[in-house]
Amino acid sequence: MYPRHEARRTGRLRVSDIHEIFWEESGNPDGVPVIALHGGPGGGSNPEMRRFFDPARYRIFLCDQRGCGRSTPHSELRENTTWDLVDDIEALREHVGVNQWVVFGGSWGSTLSLAYAVTHPDRVLGLVLRGIFLVSKSEISWFYQSGASRLFPDSYDRYIAPIPEAERGDLLNAFHKRLIGSDKNARIEAARAWARWEGETLSIKGPVTTPPRFNEDDFVDAFARIECHYFINRGFFAHDSWLLEEAERTLQSIPGVIVHGRYDVVTPLSTAWALSKAWPKAELHIIPDAGHSSMEPGIVDRLIAATDMFAEQFLPTVKA
């Protein structure tokens, strides 16, 4: 990864009567603009995301999506949908004076990147996506109901522990009831279990590599509540295949790179495979010894190769 570097400027952008989002800019002010979209939803950005881009060649933007990270109000579900977030990205683009940018995102960040790109294709230079997720019923059932339990039975038992056995036939609704409920103890217990399930399954190495923030109550509250809110509403898409169909219709002239771990348990490879067939202009790279985490060595290498390639491709255009 590129060396750590600090943000050159930060700001807050009022995007609704309720919400204000945090954003930052780093790198070269004359470089290729790129916005890096974090996962979750509800995960928040972190400084390590800057390191996927050459700071000498990129003008790097990060933001915290509604309700998480340094955006306010924390863990707020009102006025918090995919289309609100798409509007926020466009509002930020206009606010910072960028005409077009590369869009980079992994996991939920790949979902939001695609939703933005199919809505505003004229604003997208290219897409770099990792861990493709389309918020379909089958994807949610695989990870949040029972499919992934076959590979991580130890973590799965910890995940379902707060839910009485009688409610385990529909875990998404069981968690949602607790995460939006008024019982604060039940809410945080459910949030910890929900978030740690994902944290323990991110890497091919399993629970030993769980990021520390997946054990922090403030983080897991927003992460679990916002994720569950989005997933119970199926990403606020018209139907399961809507995003795939729109990608096939609108992305044919936009270059892209898709990076996916062969052993990704959180978002199985079949979704990336389907996207690559719908979007022939995108290069699909299957990493043979990786799971879901952006920090798996093979995934890091391929993502940086992709951003380097786009820097070479788009920097002359930006300078012109």
- Could you give the number of structural domains in the chain? 2
Specify the amino acid at residue 274: A
Spell out the alpha helix ranges (H) of 75-183.
82-96, 108-119, 137-144, 153-160, 171-179
Query: Is residue 3 assigned to a domain?
Result: no
Domain-terminating residue out of 191, 216, 235: 235
Tokens of 17: 């009567």
Query: Is residue 2 assigned to a domain?
Result: no
Residues whose CB falls within 8 Å of the CB of residue 212, separated by 6 or more in sequence, listed in order? none
The DSSP element (H or E) to which 257 belongs, if any, is strand 256-261
Distances (CA, A) of 48 to 36, 52, 248, 265, 296: 11, 8, 32, 23, 13
Pair (123, 21) in one structural domain? yes
Q: What is the pLDDT of residue 316?
A: 80
Query: Is residue 251 assigned to a domain?
Result: yes
Q: Is 157 an active-site residue?
A: no
Query: Is residue 211 assigned to a domain?
Result: yes
Tokens of 263: 């052993």
Point out the catalytic residue in the list 155, 203, 292, 293: 292
Pair (114, 15) in one structural domain? yes
Say if pTM beats, i.e. exceeds, 0.95: yes
**CATH number of the domain to which 256 belongs:** 3.40.50.1820
Query: Is residue 255 assigned to a domain?
Result: yes
Point out the catalytic residue in the list 54, 64, 221, 264: 264
Query: Is residue 1 assigned to a domain?
Result: no
Pair (126, 206) in one structural domain? no
Pair (125, 179) in one structural domain? no
Domain-terminating residue out of 184, 203, 235: 235
Domain-terminating residue out of 235, 255, 283: 235
Task: Give pLDDT tens digits along the chain (320 positions).
Answer: 999 999 999 999 999 999 999 999 999 999 999 999 999 999 999 999 999 999 999 999 999 999 999 999 999 999 999 999 999 999 999 999 999 999 999 999 999 999 999 999 999 999 999 999 999 999 999 999 999 999 999 999 999 999 999 999 999 999 999 999 999 999 999 999 999 999 999 999 999 889 999 989 999 999 999 999 999 999 999 999 999 999 999 999 999 999 999 999 999 999 999 999 999 999 999 999 999 999 999 999 999 999 999 999 998 877 65
Domain span at residue 160?
Answer: 138-235
Q: Is 19 an active-site residue?
A: no
Pair (227, 245) in one structural domain? no
Pair (249, 289) in one structural domain? yes
Pair (85, 165) in one structural domain? no
Position of tokens 């399993």?
206
Pair (28, 63) in one structural domain? yes
Pair (163, 186) in one structural domain? yes
- Residues comprising the chain, all counted: 320
Pair (251, 109) in one structural domain? yes
Q: Is 29 left (phi over 0), alpha (psi -120 to 50) or beta?
A: alpha
Q: What is the pLDDT of residue 319?
A: 67
Query: Is residue 123 assigned to a domain?
Result: yes
Pair (123, 218) in one structural domain? no
Q: Is 107 an active-site residue?
A: yes
Pair (229, 280) in one structural domain? no
The total of other beta-carbon atoms located within 10 Å of residue 252's CB is 12
Query: Is residue 4 assigned to a domain?
Result: no
Distances (CA, A) of 24 to 95, 116, 257: 12, 19, 24
Point out the catalytic residue in the list 107, 110, 113, 136: 107
